[in-house]
Structure 1
Amino acid sequence: MKEILDNKRVIEFIQNEIEASKGTHIWSDYVNALKLISQVVFTRSSGFVLELIQNAEDSGMGLNYPGVFNIRINKSRVKVMHNGSPFSSDDVKAICGIRSSKKPEKGTLGYLGIGFKSVFKVTDSPEIYSNGYQFKFDRNYADWKDPSNVPWHVLPIWVNEPSEIHGVKLDLELFKYII
């Protein structure tokens, strides 16, 4: 229980830190940069699959067991799972920004810190479950009066109860994205 509270505090800290820039040029620059990254840099809707495969491969580097990568698709959601290293607080901070927690010299594929943003070509509400972290980014979150003026792509929202897909509760043993 303590771990969940600590993880939730990390999410709340990140959210408060980003929201502290509201009304400044930093806020509006962030909004504009995120629009460009999620809509212009990633021109193909299907590109998110490659980006998530690269993320899974990077998170499995140095592990002593074979990697597992699984995609499940239904009419309304895509569920991506892998057994790479679980998220650390640094990974959460990186995905809630435009930066990487990885260094290119370590041989990782993704090190620019923008690959995950490709999911915004296909969803307005991706969810992430890893290592006790359970959060989402949500364009239609009730607190955003005008999402076009909010950097919602990086503002994490804690998820109290993991999603169910077709009435089946998620098995949180594997690292997951729900898109």
Structure 2
Amino acid sequence: MEALAELSISSAQEFIGRVSFYSTEMAKILLILVCFFFASTEALSLPSHNCSDYFTYGIDANGSFIGIFTADEAGVQKLNFSTRFIFHGAKKQVSTIKPYPTTTDAIRNIENGYRGQAFVQFTNSTSELPTLFAFVLNGKVLCRSSIDTFRKPFYAVRTEITLKTSQPIRKLKDTRPIMHPIFPQIEPKIIV
């Protein structure tokens, strides 16, 4: 009977030794997989530009990245926005330019004495958003970057829009619109 008990104890100890060996190996494998996961994720970077008075990157209500353009002065009934972006990766990363936030609101803001605004949406960007290369408003170059510092190969896209109103425009002292990019809502999770 004692021999049987000793055999059971030694079998149990051997079993525990094997389980701890396998759990240690599994922990190592899990650690390696977690490291691969974190190494493969990369944050989307915002490129630098020399147009902070008239352009900003932001996030719309749907969580999409956008670029918002602002006119250099208020009181102008017709605005011709022309932009040019350069980027790497997928070809279709910049949408056509649209009035910001909507056509109706953009025209109303112009009529109320604020500077006109337009925006583009960025899609298919993996590691870096497209870089603003040039912004021209009513034929006046508001900002332009040097293409020499941009690594090749790259794609370029140009997009234009005209906003106009025939209504009288109100006069304001401070015409600069406040541009608050919308960040995604983060809801706290309650764990009971």
Q: TM-score range by the shorter chain?
A: under 0.3
Indicate the structure (1 or 2) with the bigger Cα radius of gyration: 2
Bigger proportion of residues as helix = 1
TM-score by length of 2: 0.24
